Amino acid sequence: MTPEEFRRHGKQVIDWIADYLAGIESNPVMSQVKPGEIRRALPASPPERGEPFESVLSDLGRILLPGITHWQHPGFFAYFPSNASGPAVLGDLLSSGLGVQGMLWVTSPACTELETVVVDWLAELIGLPERFRTDAAGGGVIQDSASSACLVALLAALHRASGGRAATEGIDRRYTLYVTSQTHSSLEKAARIAGLGAAGVRLVDVDPRTLAMNPAHLRELLAADEAAGAVPAMVCATVGTTSTTAVDPVPAIGQVCRERGVWLHVDAAYAGVAAICPEFRWLNDGVAEYADSYATNPHKWLLTNFDCGVLWTADREPLLGALSILPEYLRNAATSTGSVVDYRDWQVPLGRRFRALKLWSVIRWYGAEGLRAHIRKGVELAAELAGWVGADPGFELHEPHPLGLVCFRPLWPGVDDADEADRATLRLMELLNASGSMYLTHTKAGGRVLLRLAVGAAATERRHVEQAWEQIRWEHAALSSTMR
């Protein structure tokens, strides 16, 4: 493709995206295709001769679009939001256009230095302590995901707990990781990858109402495990759990970690970005005093297209100790002076995309003010929805609901069996999702199925939440009547 052809097709692509976003509400939120349908519609073998780019765009609309679940649809309330935005798409496009691979400072100094600036900006915006800044002993790095962030944090924690032996001798003792039943599954995955195994993952009790970690139980478990010869490597506190946005008490957990000298990782993948608003700064309570590492995902709720997760550490030495290997073919003068950051040492892969460009575009386009307005809109709409749910005798609201996620349980009068009631709840969810006007997911808390409605897509306005709630009530009443 010549630059002129690129210019022409590039304009078509931008028009396609703009039209798609402008008309997104005409699509069913959740793709309604059957497994294999898309694959069968595509040629089994690649073309021998090149095809016009128009054919790609036409097949995108004709074949692929029905198989797309529209995450940017205003009726998308599933999982957590995965915001996209114009400046992020354009920043990503610029990154693709530059085609930079920023594994070392020398392979594109601006890629590294912009990343340092942007993660420091974000640290300032969400009120992270000075020690997480690159000019202090710590620093931030953009990862592909919070899963990678927690793996990298665990590797750094193991490095510290083992005095560096994990890198040289491997896992030669029983290292342990502390989580709760509510911690994201990526922590268990990280433990498996790091060689701790499922047996190395210790479950700390949660408060049965709030589902937040019980620090007293953490203290007991740590003492018992150490007495039994284990080496506690890391505690993961979650600020905004995936299931219900429970917030672990970081100050009390941090106190226990400090007593025992254990690394504290704070996983704020979804909720952390809300701290950009002063009224949600409490989400960071205890982070300044106690956290060794902290992660949040601008690719969830901060208008930055997937993928963009940021990890900060208060001390970069264990991280570099765990991950730094310098083969001959990567040696260069800048690295050997020790005066530059080589982000390849802060992550699992060697190569890295220029992700800072999209986060930079987002922060500059919206400004702190615009980002705060986006977060506030989600929280306000969720609070309003929670008010409607709480006031309706046909539903039970799960509390607390501090941010954009509202969890609730439809009640099924006349159904005494809990399993049958749970099946009815899941049936209700299927009906709602099949309607095409919204997409919800579920979770389990206290042994019962709850529906989760996460507000936070950039296009979601009050009318979309109101319509969704009306439809939920209507479908619930209709389904209830068939069960009596």
- Check residue 267 for interaction with ligand PLP (CB under 6 A): yes
Round to whole Å and give the CA distance between 402 and 268: 13
Query: What is the number of residues in the chain?
Result: 484
Calculate the dihedral angle through the C-alpha atoms of 54, 58, 63, 67, rounding to the nearest 10 degrees.
Answer: 100
Contact (Cβ atoms closer than 8 angstroms) between residue 424 and residue 416: no
Determine which residue in the list 28, 139, 309, 378 makes contact with ligand PLP, applying CB under 6 A.
309
Return all residues near 211 (Cβ < 8 A) that are at least 6 apart: 180, 182, 241, 243, 244, 246, 445
Interface segment toward ligand PLP; rule CB under 6 A; list 48-56, 142-150, 356-364, 432-440? 142-150
- Check residue 467 for interaction with ligand PLP (CB under 6 A): no
Residue number with CB closer to ligand PLP (244 or 433):
244
Residue number with CB closer to ligand PLP (194 or 424):
194
Interface segment toward ligand PLP; rule CB under 6 A; list 216-224, 264-272, 372-380, 469-477? 264-272
Terminal CA-CA length for the chain: 64
Provide the 8-state DSSP code for 213. B
DSSP element (H, E) containing 476: helix 462-483
Return all residues near 237 (Cβ < 8 A) that are at least 6 apart: 213, 248, 249, 250, 253, 254, 264, 265, 266, 267
- Check residue 270 for interaction with ligand PLP (CB under 6 A): yes
Round to whole Å and give the CA distance between 385 and 180: 28
Round to whole Å and give the CA distance between 134 and 103: 18
Interface segment toward ligand PLP; rule CB under 6 A; list 47-55, 201-209, 234-242, 403-411? 234-242
- Check residue 316 for interaction with ligand PLP (CB under 6 A): no
- Check residue 238 for interaction with ligand PLP (CB under 6 A): yes
CB 300 to ligand PLP: min, Å = 7
Site string for ligand PLP, 35-74 (x = CB under 6 A): ----------------------------------------
- Check residue 269 for interaction with ligand PLP (CB under 6 A): yes
Interface segment toward ligand PLP; rule CB under 6 A; list 83-91, 247-255, 262-270, 338-346? 262-270
273: left (phi over 0), alpha (psi -120 to 50) or beta: alpha
Determine which residue in the list 71, 76, 77, 80 makes contact with ligand PLP, applying CB under 6 A.
80
- Check residue 332 for interaction with ligand PLP (CB under 6 A): no
CB 45 to ligand PLP: min, Å = 33
Return all residues near 296 (Cβ < 8 A) that are at least 6 apart: 126, 146, 268, 269, 270, 271, 272, 273, 309, 310
- Check residue 460 for interaction with ligand PLP (CB under 6 A): no
- Check residue 182 for interaction with ligand PLP (CB under 6 A): no
For ligand PLP, the binding residues in 281-300 under the rule CB under 6 A are 297
Residue number with CB closer to ligand PLP (149 or 386):
149
Provide the 8-state DSSP code for 205. P
- Check residue 145 for interaction with ligand PLP (CB under 6 A): yes
Round to whole Å and give the CA distance between 455 and 405: 6
Q: Rule CB under 6 A: which residues touch ligand PLP?
A: 80, 145-147, 184, 186, 238, 241-242, 267, 269-270, 297, 309
